[in-house]
Amino acid sequence: MKALDKTMKDVQFFSKGTKILVVLLGLAAIAVIYRYVFGLGGATNLSDDVPWGLWVAFDVFAGVALAAGGFAVTAAVYIFNMKKYKPIARPAILTAFIGYSVVMLGLLIDIGQSQRFWHPLLMWQHRSVMFEVVICITLYSNVLALEFAPAVLEKLKLTGLLKILKFFTFPLVIAGIVLSFLHQSSLGAFFLIMPARLSQLWYSPIMPQMFYISAIAVGLAMVSFESIVSAKAFKKEYEMDILKGLGKGTRITLGIYLLVKIIDMIVRGTFPMLLDGSLASKFYIAEILIGAIIPIILYSIKSTQESVGGILTSSSFVIFGVLFNRFNINFFAQLRPGISYFPSVAEIAITVGLVALGIFAYRIAAVYFPVMHDSQEQH
The per-residue pLDDT for range 247-298, each reduced to its tens digit, is 999 999 999 999 999 999 999 999 899 989 899 999 999 999 999 999 999 9
* Dist CA 212 CA 342 (whole Å): 28
CB atoms within 10 A of CB 236: 19
Q: Per-residue confidence at 2, pLDDT binned at 50, 70, 90?
A: very low
Range from 14-23, 27-36, 143-152 carrying the lowest mean pLDDT: 14-23
Mean per-residue pLDDT over the chain, rounded? 90
User: What pLDDT does 3 receive?
Assistant: 43
- Using a pLDDT cut of 70, give the percent of the chain over it: 95
User: What pLDDT does 194 receive?
Assistant: 84
User: What pLDDT does 377 receive?
Assistant: 53
Question: Per-residue pLDDT averaged across 335-359, rounded?
Answer: 93
Do residues 327 and 341 make contact, with C-beta atoms less than 8 angstroms apart? no
Residue 137, classed as helix, strand or coil, is helix
Query: Which of 73, 71, 66, 72 is CA-nearest to residue 87?
Result: 73
Q: Per-residue confidence at 1, pLDDT binned at 50, 70, 90?
A: very low
